[in-house]
Structures are given as C-alpha cells and as structure tokens.
Amino acid sequence: MSGEVRVRLADVPDGLATRVGGGPYGICIARVGNDFYALADRCSHQNWPLSDGEVEVLSGTVECTKHGSTFSLKDGSPQCLPATQAVPVYPVRVEGDEVVVTVE
C-alpha cells in the first residue's frame, strides 16, 4: 500500500530526527540544512525507534540509541555493528511549506 505523509517544514528541526506516523513502523524524518531524509523508524537490529537517535550531520547518519548502530540517511545502510541489515528509506520532496514522504 502506498501513500503520502505530509508534515510542516517548521515541525522538522534542522539537525534532528523527527517521528511521524506512516509506513509499518512510523517514519523517521531527518533534516540537514535544506535536505530531508526519511527512513523507517525502526532499527533493523533491535526494533528501536531511530527518531530517538542523534543525527550526525557530517557523516550523514542517524544513530540508534539502543546499541549505537548508525544508518546512512541516504540509503538506510548500516554503518557499524551491531546492525547488519539496512532500514527502508522513502522518497522525500518539499512542496511549499510541507515535507512530503512517499510511503511505498
């Protein structure tokens, strides 16, 4: 099932992860300047919400607070152990004053 999730730009602070509803696990939206990324809000290692984690701007990752795995904001791939599987990523675009995530 596909659809769109919309959130106001003002509700997505720069350099932070934000949880919104959608998809099977919720969506973690991260903003880095004018770039937006959307991942499933679930660590592939321990089913922990990624939106609770810290966005590392320089490395382009979000960290899972449960065991410290980090995931690429661009493709969801794990960047360090203990996670070994990628998390789903979703297409993102900005329309006016909204961030639009397409959930496939």
Sequence-distant (6+) residues with CB within 8 A of 9 are 94, 97, 98, 99
| 64-78 mean pLDDT | 97
Provide the total of helices (H) and of strands (E) in the chain, helices listed first. 0, 10
Alpha carbons 42 and 47: distance in angstroms, whole number: 5
Tens digit of pLDDT for each residue in 14-69?
999 999 999 889 999 999 999 999 999 999 998 899 999 999 999 999 999 999 99
Q: Is the pLDDT of residue 94 over 90?
A: yes
Asked if the bond preceding 49 is cis, omega within 30° of 0, the reply is no
Alpha carbons 4 and 52: distance in angstroms, whole number: 22
Q: What are phi and psi of 31, to 5 degrees?
A: -115, 130
Between β-strands 55-56 and 35-40, what pairing exists: parallel, antiparallel or unpaired? unpaired
Strand partners, 23: none
Domains belonging to the chain, first-starting first, are: 3-103 (2.102.10.10)
Q: Which DSSP category does 55 fall into? A: E
